[in-house]
Amino acid sequence: MGVGQRQRTGSSGQVNRQRIAAASAMAQVIKCVSNTARQPLDFPNLSSSLNAENMQLAWDEISSWPGYAPTPLHRMPELAEHCGVKAVLYKDEAQRFGLGSFKALGGAYAVANLMKRHRRAGQDLSALTVTTATDGNHGRSVAWGAQRVGCAAKIFIHKHVSKSREQAMRDLGADVMRIDGNYDASLAVCRDEAESQGWQMVSDTSWPGYREIPLEVMAGYSVLARELIEQVGNLPISHAFLPVGVGGMAGGIVAALWQEMGKQLCHIISVESDRAPCFQLSIAAHSPTKFEIVAETLMAGLSCGEVSELAWEILHPTLSHCLSISDQAVAPLMRLLGRESFGGLSLQAGECSTAGLAALLAANKDPKLRRELSLGRDSVVLLIGTEGATDPELYESILKGHNTT
């Protein structure tokens, strides 16, 4: 399966250019940090991190699941023309295993591995309870994974998680507990409860002493990158704009690209909300640095105040730049992608799916930033459509013209 090709007519092309220009006007990079620690290195293939073996194991397992199919990689000629680059590629995760996001690859895979370890140890699977904290999508993956193997799931959400996302996890059989505070607060409660109740945490972030399961989650995410490596064929990626929360997805993608490209690894650009720029702060400090979130971003999956230890180890030497963006372009870009603006293709793009595109459009408007990122006419830009309408009510409201909840 290669990169999707589409044609546009003259009249529709003019309308599309106008729509792109209008949405682009809203895109804003708040801050750009260049990573002075980046250096051309061979893929380290460390036993303690993502490596050829654990990424292959994830591929073998996940690609064997019923319903598996590579998600589409769309070529967006209208965007490439607007941005003055050779190609813009959009990896569309909206239909992944029917769960609506790339997260389906991670939590469910880690739960499947837990089940295997319990069986090998002769333990009663019905006694296994998995738990996690989530903004929605990761918890949905864990709940689905628990449903697949037949164990219990306890999911902690914070006060800003929508009712729709909460119900999606309940529909998969999970017990969902809502706590006061933000994502980091829900994670703290989850860790305490897991320890006191003897539950098994399946987190997509890692910290000292907790690495095995987050590593499996990230290995699951690497499947996405293996697909796109096959899909791009002879069209080499020069820039990857990757949405970042704790860094798990970006780490999984970068590890696979690094293994493929080695010292010729493309420009890796992290994109965060300016309301939760924990990776940008950490890269600037050359050390993991916590950010205290005081206002929630519309891009719920990016509302994270601390980086994942495992992701940091992969991204610190590989990121070229860290961009933080405002929320202003999120809703306009959701509408742009959903209104057949690209050769008649309607893309169901959730809030976080707009992050990379917003950063690209904002950089294109700023000649200095464009030069800083080495964007040019030969550039091939990768964007990740991380999620579809995982909050259907919010999605429909935005498509009807509302910019926030």
Q: What is the dihedral of CA 291, 296, 300, 301, to 10 degrees?
A: 0
Write the DSSP string, 110-178.
Answer: HHHHHHHHHHHTT--GGG-EEEEEESSHHHHHHHHHHHHHT-EEEEEEETTS-HHHHHHHHTTT-EEEE
Which run of H or of E encompasses 27? none
Tokens of 403: 């910019």
The values of phi and psi at residue 134, to 5°, are -160, 155
Instruction: Specify the pTM.
Output: 0.94
How confident is the model at residue 341, as a pLDDT? 67
How confident is the model at residue 235, as a pLDDT? 92
Catalytic, out of 135, 184, 204, 391: 135
How confident is the model at residue 389, as a pLDDT? 95
How confident is the model at residue 124, as a pLDDT? 83
d(CA 49, CA 218): 10
Low-confidence spans in the chain with pLDDT less than 50: 1, 7-9, 405
Which run of H or of E encompasses 55? helix 52-62
Tokens of 365: 């408007």
Q: What number of other Cβ atoms are within 10 A of residue 32's Cβ?
A: 19
Residue 391 annotated as catalytic: no
Residue 135 annotated as catalytic: yes
Catalytic, out of 31, 42, 86, 103: 103
Write the DSSP string, 171-192.
Answer: TTT-EEEEESS-HHHHHHHHHH
Helix (H, G, I), strand (E, B) or coil at 311: helix
How confident is the model at residue 127, as a pLDDT? 86
Q: What are the beta bridge partners of residue 207? A: 210
How confident is the model at residue 7, as a pLDDT? 47
Give the domains, in start order, of the chain with CATH numbers.
10-102+214-399 (3.40.50.1100), 107-203 (3.40.50.1100)
Tokens of 282: 């950490």
Give residue for tokens 């206002």. Answer: 295
